[in-house]
Amino acid sequence: MILPIYTYGQPVLREVAKDITPDYPNLKELIANMYETLERADGVGLAAPQIGLSIRVVVINLDIISEDMPELKGFIHTFINPHILETDGEMVNMEEGCLSLPGIHENVQRANRIHVHYMDENFIEHDEWVDGYVARVMQHEFDHLEGKMFIDHLSPLRKQLIRGKLNTMLKGKARSSYKMKQVKR
Ligand code: NI
């Protein structure tokens, strides 16, 4: 089932999401719905707060960009209760977008290498270092679980320049090719 994506201004996007346990109701179905919603919206990652749930569940599908980055072929992973333990090394600048911020694309500086702890959809624990594009997408998605969005990393000047677009969202007048749940005014 395709779910509407909550956009900027929805309070759930600013909450710190909670860890879940394996008995979370209908988890398999929820994850399947998140992948379907992500695919329909042509995105690479989706965090549960973006569909209105303040829980620590993230799906990432990098297979859809593997034509450009062959090393990402088959990268389709679910992250439950993920936490970034530490970051290391250089900071890298790259343009990002977000399904909750339609029409906004800005450069964001992030660590190239991160140490993450998470569970997969079978609640098997993983503890690993990742780098490059995967680390970039994880940092973006895991930020959502802390109530953060990529625009929080921008300079005051860049923020000023996107103010108009953000105000449009706050009025519930954003447009996109996928189903959204905007703030009602
Ligand atoms: Ni996002």
pLDDT along the chain (185 residues), means of 10: 98 98 97 98 98 98 93 96 95 98 98 98 97 97 98 97 97 96 85
Q: How many whole angstroms from 122 Cα to the centroid of ligand 1? A: 24
- Supply the pLDDT for residue 185: 60
Number of structural domains the chain divides into? 1
Q: How many whole angstroms from 125 Cα to the centroid of ligand 1? A: 24
- Supply the pLDDT for residue 23: 97
CATH of the domain at 169: 3.90.45.10
The phi and psi torsions of 147 (rounded to 5 degrees) equal: 80, 20
* Distance, CA of 149 to CA of 142 (rounded, Å): 10
Which residue among the candidates 36, 90, 121, 141 is catalytic per the annotation? 141
Q: Indicate the Cα dihedral angle 137, 157, 6, 97, nearest 10°.
A: -30
Told to judge if 15 belongs to the known catalytic residues of this protein, a careful annotator would answer: no
Q: How many whole angstroms from 71 Cα to the centroid of ligand 1? A: 22
How are beta strands 76-96 and 106-119 bridged, if at all?
A: antiparallel
* Distance, CA of 68 to CA of 66 (rounded, Å): 5
pTM of the model: 0.96
Query: Looking at residue 150, what DSSP letter applies?
Result: G
- Phi-psi category of residue 125: left, alpha or beta, with phi > 0 → left and psi -120 to 50 → alpha: beta
Residue 5: both structure tokens together = 């994506």
Which residue range is the domain that position 114 belongs to? Answer: 5-181
